[in-house]
Amino acid sequence: MIREKSRIYGGRLIAMITLVDTFSSCWFGYCQGVFAGVLVSDNFKAKFPQTLDANISGITSSCFFLGAFVGSTMAFISGDKLGRKKTIAWGLLFNLIGATLQFSSWHLPQMIIGRLINGFGIGLTSTMTPVFLSESAKSHQRGKLVGIGASSNVTMFALANWISYALYSEGGPFQWRFPLSFQVIFFFIIAPLLFFVPESPRWLLLMGKEQDALEVLARLAGKNVPMDDLIVTAEFRSIKAAIELEREDRTPLMDVLCFRDKTHNFRRLILSCGTQFMQQFSGINALGFYLPTLLTQTVGFNQEMSRLISAVSSTVYLVSAFGSLIFIDRFGRRKMMLYAAITMGFCHIIASLALRESEVDVSKRKLMGNVATAMFIVYHVFFGTGFASVPWVYSAEVNSLGWRTRGAAAATATNWLFGFVVTQFTKVGVDRLGWAFYLIFGVICFTYFPIVFCFYPETSNRTLEDMDHMFIQNPSIFVFGKADMTQRRRPKNFIDAEVARIAMV
């Protein structure tokens, strides 16, 4: 385990853990945004002419997602054994190797291998850093702090687009090698931070390291807070009791898969995976990786204007994602997803119909192209405030302690797997379906509303230990009409259950 080199306490310690998650998310977001500009660089296309084929271009972009899917799967298998910090450290090492292979590439296979390795590292870190932060933060801070990481993802996505625009006039290999090499800086920011933070207290308790866990809880509480402080010991006993209850209810895997365990672990895993599925099939990566290409090919803008619009759109996305931090705890996770489902759906439908009209009436192509472009930008507003942060927060919250790493890993793997699917087939879909391609995303977004309304409980303003009680008391898969499952404020019976847990230890 990486040992912290100095003692940091209270808010500063939480801030340090938040920075680990934030800069890890920055690297993740930069990787998602940087390749859109790389693909349209003249020198890159001359160096790798194979990428002029839509299928090869797709696999060169989307192989990153395949690597990340494998990385998330590895976190699912070994994340609890290695611990939060070790898993993150290994992810950073793979990121560094993969990034180096990419910016130094002279052959397409080297580029693809580099993207696979980089993706593998991102799969590890993107799974573990939100879990690490959520297990360390207080319930009233958790949504905003994890949301900062998710929003920082968008910050680097926007920066990658602006770098692409700034290098438009650069004709040589610097146009694409510099953006790919820039990401190495994140390794030298995140790696030192790991030396200053302790392991997650909940993971330490899960591993039976009670004294270490108590010490970390005291450090998280503040500089001069002793380990026998009443608040610290109460939290320690609540977490320990929840772990013991979970172990007492441990059931065979087949029973878990058939929803026969009291705490419904598999149902909760499906819910967390569902948020990531919804995020990907809202169309965000179809625009993230290919917006410059789509604006040039479908709308008719030149390459410079396409890059500028992509950069502006990503900046709007950035502002919206950080704006979500104001609302994520105020309105709750459910309402954010419900509103985003409808608004994103309308953006796709309007953009699709505008593009259809531009094909039917050539005289309106410029006007309808502008309408479609405006809808792509407005889409980023609604996605940024609704689905940019919520899936990451939700998957880090809803799973039980024993299944939190596996649940987060499965959710992240879902994100990467379907990110690969969307990225791989976007170019082919636009080539073959034209305007109707966006219509598909619009219809899919509309289906999210009844799914969230019927099946997704609220997780804001609950402790992580509340989640077990919530699912034990409400075994039905349907949550609508049940205040304990849908209201934003913490139900009184959850508070009473916590008091009872503390009294048991």
Domains of the chain, by residue range, sit at 10-498
CB atoms inside a 10 Å sphere around CB 6: 6
- List the CATH code of the domain at 10-498: 1.20.1250.20
Distance CA 11, CA 367 (A): 52
Measured between alpha carbons, how far is residue 494 from residues 169, 210, 462, 465, 500 in Å?
59, 25, 8, 9, 10
Distance CA 264, CA 262 (A): 6
**Do residues 236 and 24 touch, judged by C-beta distance below 8 A?**
no
Distance CA 123, CA 472 (A): 31
pLDDT tens track of the chain, all 505 residues? 455 555 788 889 999 999 999 999 899 888 877 887 787 788 888 888 888 887 787 788 778 888 988 998 898 888 788 889 999 999 999 999 999 999 999 899 999 999 999 999 999 998 899 889 988 888 777 778 887 877 788 788 778 878 887 887 777 888 889 999 999 999 999 999 998 899 999 899 888 899 999 999 999 888 888 888 888 888 898 888 878 776 766 666 676 777 777 888 889 999 999 999 999 899 887 776 667 767 776 667 777 787 788 778 888 888 888 888 888 888 889 999 999 999 999 999 998 898 888 888 877 777 888 888 889 889 999 998 888 888 888 887 888 777 777 888 888 888 888 878 887 777 777 778 878 888 999 999 999 999 999 999 999 888 878 888 888 888 889 998 888 899 888 888 888 888 887 776 5
Q: Is 489 helix (H, G, I), strand (E, B) or coil?
A: coil
Q: Which residues of 414-452 are buried (b: 16+ CB within 10 A; e: fewer)?
A: bbbbbbbebbbbbbebbeeeebebbbbbbebbbebbeeb
35-64 pLDDT tens trace: 877 877 888 888 888 888 877 877 887 788
Which amino acid, 117?
I
Distance CA 457, CA 484 (A): 9
263-297 pLDDT tens trace: 888 899 999 999 999 998 998 877 766 677 677 76
Which among 139, 86, 252, 166 has a CA at the least distance from the CA of 494? 139
Q: What is the pTM of this model?
A: 0.75
What tokens appear for 129 in the block? Answer: 């850093």
CB atoms inside a 10 Å sphere around CB 106: 9
| Sequence-distant (≥ 6) Cβ neighbours of residue 364 within 8 angstroms | 357, 358
Instruction: Specify the DSSP class assigned to residue 171.
Output: -
